[in-house]
Structures are given as C-alpha cells and as structure tokens.
C-alpha cells in the first residue's frame, strides 16, 4: 500500500546554529520536538538502539515523501540527509555538520512511526562484535560484491 511519509533524522551541529527553524531544500531543520508522542518515542528508541543521548547539539532534519512506501521513504531520506549535511558547510562556513542515523519514518495517514532500522554494520557489531563495512542501500550486483569483500579477511 502506498502512503505519505515523514522522514526525520538528526544532524549534529554546534548548539548556537539555527536558533529558529529554517528550511533548506526539501528539509526543515528545527530544534522543535515532534508533535506526536509516538514520533518522539520512535526517535528515542532509535537513539537507544545506538546508545546515544539526544542532546542540545542535535537538529532535526525532516522531509516529506508523498505517494511512496516506507522503504522508499527511508532510503531516499538517508540519501537526501547525507547530501544535506554535505551542503550545509557551504552556507555556514567553518561549521562542521554530521548526519546521525537516529530518527524515524512516520506515516502521515495513520501516525504510526518506525525507528530508523540499524545498518548492516550496526547489526553485525551487535550480533558478533565484528565490524563490517557495507553500503546498506546497495542492490545487486553491488551487494554481492560488497558482501564477498567484507565477509571474512581470508575471502
């Protein structure tokens, strides 16, 4: 089923930047908390999964995706967030920004929210203690190649 989605992630930045909400491209950057309690809970669940406390140095980057699926909204949101973080230093010279994979994707139709799922690397680290580097958005044939390259040092 197709739906309309809100993608929300966190961007780490100096606390003095963006005292007020601002819009940049598709995203709204704001320090305001989410309006729905279950959205805020999903954000905190995502932070707990990564053992991170959401502090004052985080901004919320929000983007809306219409007529798409949860998976498409998640993948597009991650890619746009990384692009956003790359562009911010061009506007705010000498200010370093960092995309933090904490957030949620929420349905605007029924309000249900899901925390951003762990990356393959995070999942591997939790499961085995081994760190593997892989592009979680990769598709065939790149996924097979990446999997072979990181499966085991002897491979």
> Tens digit of pLDDT for each residue in 8-40?
999 988 766 667 778 887 888 888 877 788 899
Token pair recorded at residue 76: 């597009």
Asked if 131 and 125 touch (Cβ cutoff 8 Å), the reply is yes
What is the b/e burial string over 126-139, where b = at least 16 CB atoms within 10 angstroms of the residue's CB?
eeeeeebebebeee
| Average confidence (pLDDT) over 76-85 | 90
- Does pLDDT of 154 surpass 80? no
Do residues 103 and 10 make contact, with C-beta atoms less than 8 angstroms apart?
yes
What is the spatial distance between Cα 111 and Cα 122, in angstroms, rounded to a whole number? 27
**In this prediction, what percent of the chain has a pLDDT beyond 70?**
73
pLDDT at 149: 56
pTM: 0.73
Is the pLDDT reported for residue 139 higher than 60?
A: no
Q: Tell me: the pLDDT tens digits for 116-132?
A: 987 777 766 666 655 44
Cβ neighbours for 125, distance < 8 A, ≥ 6 positions apart: 131
């Amino acid at each position: 089923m197709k739906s309309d989605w809100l993608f929300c992630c966190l961007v780490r930045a100096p606390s003095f930047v963006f005292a007020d909400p601002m819009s940049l491209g598709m995203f709204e950057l704001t320090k305001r908390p989410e309006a729905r309690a279950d959205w805020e809970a999903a954000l905190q669940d995502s932070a707990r999964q990564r053992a991170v406390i959401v502090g004052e140095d985080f901004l919320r980057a929000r983007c809306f995706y219409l007529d798409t699926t949860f998976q498409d909204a998640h993948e597009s949101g991650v890619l746009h967030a990384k692009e956003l973080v790359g562009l911010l230093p061009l506007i705010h010279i000498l200010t370093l920004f960092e995309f933090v994979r904490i957030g949620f994707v929420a349905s605007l139709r029924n309000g249900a929210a899901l925390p951003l799922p762990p990356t393959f690397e995070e999942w591997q680290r939790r499961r085995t203690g081994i760190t593997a580097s892989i592009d979680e958005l990769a598709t065939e044939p790149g996924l097979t190649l990446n999997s072979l390259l990181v499966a085991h040092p002897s491979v």
